[in-house]
Amino acid sequence: MDEMTHTHAEESLRPYYVVWIYLLAITAVEVLLAYMQVFSTEVMLIVLVCLSMVKAGLIVAFFMHLKFEKPALAWSLVPAGLLVIALLFVFFPDSFRVLELRVP
């Protein structure tokens, strides 16, 4: 009986290990892209943000167990996410002021 319980526990943890390996691989790709600088800054930022969003999605889905919740709970996060994105666009133009504040 103990052997069956042990096997079942290993099988239930397998998806978490797989997701963890994917997260490590994505992080390695992000670090390599940052050090190699093969793309322009704009393309690099877009790629890094997209990879970070994939990592955040995997973390929320598996490690925060949102994948196994009711869809209504997952959809309740959409308005909050849209609000955060809207606020980023509101404050983003202020970041251009940093270019004017630099001393040549």
Q: What is the DSSP string of 70-92?
A: -HHHHHTHHHHHHHHHHHHHHHG
DSSP 8-state code for residue 96? G
What is the spatial distance between Cα 26 and Cα 34, in angstroms, rounded to a whole number?
12
Nearest-CA neighbor of 62 among 12, 10, 19? 19
Question: pLDDT-derived band of residue 17, with 50, 70 and 90 as boundaries?
Answer: very high
pLDDT at 32: 93
What is the spatial distance between Cα 21 and Cα 8, in angstroms, rounded to a whole number?
21
**pLDDT tens figures, 76-97:** 878 888 998 899 888 888 877 7
pLDDT at 37: 83
pLDDT at 4: 54
**pLDDT tens figures, 29-41:** 999 998 888 888 8
